[in-house]
């Protein structure tokens, strides 16, 4: 299969959108493109499975490698393993859902959908890149659309949030770039798989690992560089929030894994205590900060900080299971938080408020949306049957395998966050969904077909992953295995 399709189709769709006339045409084109992309992603998944079962054990499949700037060692080198496919599927579902949720975006609809599709192209490209420079290219492609999406279509102090988000993410990619340069000047290659085979001296790794990890960490809301998350998410329009939390934060996690940890494993070992420290702080701190929020979007944004902490924690622990868990958590969090934002957006368009205190008893007037909200909440607090549980438990299980006592403590603290999560999710749900219905909200309507479909797609993903985790586990197994070969297993089991 030609992986370039994954980049070309969003691009073509985005360009077609520019020729569309009026909201109706534009949204249909976007949806068609996104659905096509989702179809291709699923097809890719099937092909991948077929190839694997036929005994192909290459680390990367469907590889294409064309010289791009050959003089600089830059290649258009793409390929996928299970981790990338999981991410691609995540992206594809969130994109479809995002487009469906913005079905009635009348304000500059053409530009809106164009930017959404451009953003998704960046994410796809990022996930399939096997060349550091291409990867970096797509990472940055995904930044600017966010700025415009938040700044133009957002609400609240949108300009401030958009600027903060763009600048912090650019700072992140600046750090990534420095890390990347360090690797490049050491190995004279941008080829991730080739670099992995070369040995970078520990001293060099120690210098550049922090740059790469921190840079991607900013994308993944690593404490204390998470402050773009709450404001950015809160100000963004619904679809952009979904993209931000669902896709864009995953770029960071994926980068931490694929670039920082995979290429500089020794340094990852050396610095794991810092990573774990920051991740643990993010988890606990994010959870407690969420507890004090009164705006639904802020609640979800801070909870994203906390949840993305699990991703970082899983990577920092460096055991096969924990990295597995980190990947699972990325997918899970992407789906779940996108669903959450979708639900919040639906509520907001009807009630025109996101303040918990002003809402109440929505279950009575909009049972579907409320159910979606509750499902997202339950997934967020790690209920079995939904993806969050599988992911979090894998992270915990894997983290615990690391025999270091202090890391155990970190694991326990991370586990403790599930209680705090329960508190804030239930507080939010209890106040908004349950309780007496407000006078002004008695006449509101429930979800329309597009909203139902959007939520449905995400819920299917969440439930599928929660009920049949062995499927996705198999999918990402080989990929994680490749990374583990590089990292080496820290467990010294007797």
Partner 1 sequence: MSNYSYLYWIPLLPLATFLVLGMFGRKYLSPISGMLGTLSLAGSTLISLFAANQYFFVDGKMNGVYQKITAFRFTWLTFSPNVSIDMSVIVDPISVMMLVVVTFVSLMVHVFSLGYMKGEKRFATYYAFLSLFTFSMLGLVLAGNIFQIYIFWELVGVSSFLLIGFYFEKPSAVAASKKAFIVTRFADLGFLIGILILAFYGKTLDIGVLVERLTSVQSPEYLGIAGAGFLGISVLSWGLSLVFIGGAGKSAMFPLHIWLPDAMEGPTPVSALIHAATMVVAGVYLVARLFPIFSMDVSVMHLITYVGVFSALFAAIIACTQTDIKRVLAYSTMSQIGYMMFALGISHQTGESGLGYMASMFHLFTHAFFKSLLFLGAGAVIHLVHSNDMKDMGGLRKWMPITHMAFLVGCLAISGIPPFAGFFSKEEILTAAFHNSPFVYGIALFTAGLTAFYMFRLYFSIFWKKEASHAYTHGEGTLTMKIPLVILTILAAGAGLLPFSRWVTADGISMETHTDLLFSAIPVSFTALAILLAMYWYKNENDKPARFASMAGGWYRAAHRKFYVDEIYLFVTGKILFPLVGRPIAWFDKNIVDGCMNLLATLTARFSSLIKRWQSGSVQNYALYFFGGIAALAVLFIYLWK
Partner 2 sequence: MAMDYLILLKQEWMIALILFVLLFIKLGKDIPNATLLPWINGLLCLNLLSGFFFNQEGMLFGEMFQTNARLVMEKNILNLALLLISMQAYDWLLAHKHLIEFYLLLLTAILGMFFMLSSGNLLMFYLGLEMSTIPVAAAVNFDLTRKQSSEAAMKMIISSAFSSCLLLLGISLVYGMSGTLLFSELPRHLSSAPLYILSFLLLFSGFGFKISAVPFHLWTADVYEGAPVSVTAFLSVVSKASVLFVLVSVLYTVFKPLADTWYNLLYLLSMVTILTGNLFAIRQNNLKRFLAFSSIAQVGFILIGVSAGTQAGMTSVIYFLLIYVFSNLAAFGVVSIIGAVADKHTIEDYRALYKSNPFLTWVLTIALFSLAGVPPTAGFFGKYFLLMAGSAKGNYGLILFASLNLVISFYYYLRIVKAMFMDPNEKPIDHIQVSWLPKLALIICLAGILAAGLANQLYTYIFSLCSGL
- Pick the closer one to partner 1 by CB: 191 or 231: 231
CB 301 within 8 A of CB 380: no
340 contacts: CB under 8 Å, gap ≥ 6: 300, 373, 376, 377, 380
Binding site for partner 1 (CB under 8 A): 164, 168, 224, 226-227, 230-231, 285, 288-289, 291-293, 320-321, 324, 361, 363-364, 367, 378, 381-385, 389-390, 393-394, 396-398, 400-401, 411-412, 415-416, 418-419, 422-423, 426-427, 430, 433-437, 469-470, 473, 493-494
* CA distance between the termini of the chain: 44
**Max Cα separation, the chain?**
68
CB of 411 to partner 1, least distance (A): 7
Residue 20 or 314: the one with the smaller Cβ distance to partner 2 is 20
- Residue 152, contacted partner among partner 2, partner 1, none, CB below 5-8 A by kind: partner 2
Say which entry of partner 1, partner 2, none residue 151 contacts (CB below 5 to 8 A, set by partner kind). partner 2
How far is it, in rounded angstroms, from Cα 429 to Cα 194? 49
Minimum distance from CB of 358 to partner 2 (Å)?
27
H-helix or E-strand spanning residue 63: strand 61-69
Q: At 443, is the secondary structure helix, strand, or coil?
A: coil
CB of 69 to partner 2, least distance (A): 5
CB of 225 to partner 2, least distance (A): 13
For residue 224, whether the previous peptide bond is cis, meaning omega lies within 30 degrees of 0, is yes
Q: How far is CA 99 from CA 11, 26, 33, 94, 451, in A?
A: 15, 11, 10, 8, 10
Number of H helices, E strands in the chain: 22, 2
CB of 167 to partner 2, least distance (A): 5
CB of 101 to partner 1, least distance (A): 21
With contact defined as beta carbons under 8 Å apart, do 315 and 261 qualify?
yes
Contacted entry of partner 2, partner 1, none for residue 132, CB cut-off 5 to 8 Å set by kind: none
Whichever of 144 and 434 has its CB closer to partner 2, that residue is: 144
Cβ nearer to partner 1, comparing 193 with 327: 327
Give the sign of the dihedral formed by CA 185, CA 188, CA 190, CA 192. negative
CB nearer to partner 2: pick between 211 and 310: 211
Which of partner 2, partner 1, none does 234 bind, CB closer than 5 to 8 A by kind?
Answer: none
The CB-of-168 to partner 1 minimum distance in angstroms stands at: 7
Please, are residues 113 and 99 in contact by the beta-carbon 8 Å criterion? yes
Output Rg (C-alpha) for the chain, integer angstroms: 21
> Residue numbers of the site for partner 2 (CB under 8 A)?
67-72, 133, 136-138, 140-141, 143-144, 147-148, 151-152, 158-159, 162-163, 166-167, 170-171, 174-175, 177-178, 181-182, 184-185, 207, 211
């Amino acid at each position: 299969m030609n992986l370039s399709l994954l980049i070309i189709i969003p691009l073509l769709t985005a360009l077609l959108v520019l020729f569309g006339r009026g909201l109706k045409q534009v949204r249909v084109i976007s949806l068609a493109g996104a659905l096509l992309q989702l179809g291709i992603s699923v097809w890719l998944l099937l092909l991948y499975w077929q190839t694997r079962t036929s005994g192909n054990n290459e680390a990367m499949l469907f590889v294409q490698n064309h010289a791009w700037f050959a003089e600089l060692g830059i290649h258009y080198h793409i390929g996928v393993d299970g981790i990338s496919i999981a991410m691609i599927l995540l992206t594809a579902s969130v994109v479809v859902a995002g487009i469906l949720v913005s079905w009635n975006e009348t304000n500059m609809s053409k530009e809106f959908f164009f930017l959404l599709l451009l953003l998704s192209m960046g994410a796809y490209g990022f996930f399939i890149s096997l060349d550091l420079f291409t990867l970096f290219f797509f990472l940055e492609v995904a930044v600017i659309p966010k700025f415009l999406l938040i700044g133009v279509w957002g609400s609240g102090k949108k300009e401030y949030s958009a600027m903060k988000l763009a600048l912090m993410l650019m700072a992140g990619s600046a750090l990534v770039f420095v890390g990347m340069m360090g690797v490049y000047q050491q190995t004279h290659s941008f080829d991730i798989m080739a670099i992995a085979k070369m040995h970078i001296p520990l001293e060099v790794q120690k210098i550049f690992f922090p740059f790469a990890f921190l840079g991607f960490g900013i994308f993944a809301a690593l404490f204390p560089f998470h402050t773009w998350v709450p404001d950015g998410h809160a100000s963004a329009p619904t679809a952009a929030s979904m993209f931000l939390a669902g896709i864009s934060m995953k770029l960071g996690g994926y980068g931490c894994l694929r670039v920082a940890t995979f290429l500089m494993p020794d340094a990852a070992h050396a610095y794991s205590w810092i990573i774990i420290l920051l991740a643990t702080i993010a988890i606990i701190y994010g959870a407690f900060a969420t507890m004090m929020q009164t705006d639904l979007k802020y609640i979800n944004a801070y909870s994203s900080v906390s949840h993305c902490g699990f991703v970082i924690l899983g990577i920092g622990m460096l055991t096969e299971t924990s990295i597995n868990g980190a990947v699972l958590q990325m997918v899970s969090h992407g789906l779940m938080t996108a669903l959450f934002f979708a639900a919040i957006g639906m509520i907001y368009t009807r009630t025109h408020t996101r303040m918990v205190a002003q809402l109440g008893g929505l279950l009575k007037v909009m049972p579907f949306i409320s159910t979606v909200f509750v499902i997202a909440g339950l997934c967020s607090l790690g209920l079995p049957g939904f993806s969050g549980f599988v992911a979090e438990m894998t992270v915990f299980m894997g983290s615990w395998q690391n025999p270091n006592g202090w890391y155990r403590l970190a694991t326990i603290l991370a586990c403790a966050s599930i209680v705090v999560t329960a508190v804030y999710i239930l507080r939010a749900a209890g106040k908004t969904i349950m309780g007496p219905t407000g006078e002004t909200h008695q006449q509101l309507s429930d979800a329309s077909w597009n909203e139902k479909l959007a939520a449905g797609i995400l819920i299917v993903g969440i439930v599928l992953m929660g009920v049949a985790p062995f499927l996705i586990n198999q999918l990402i197994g080989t990929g994680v295995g490749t990374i583990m070969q590089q990292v080496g297993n820290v467990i010294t089991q007797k």
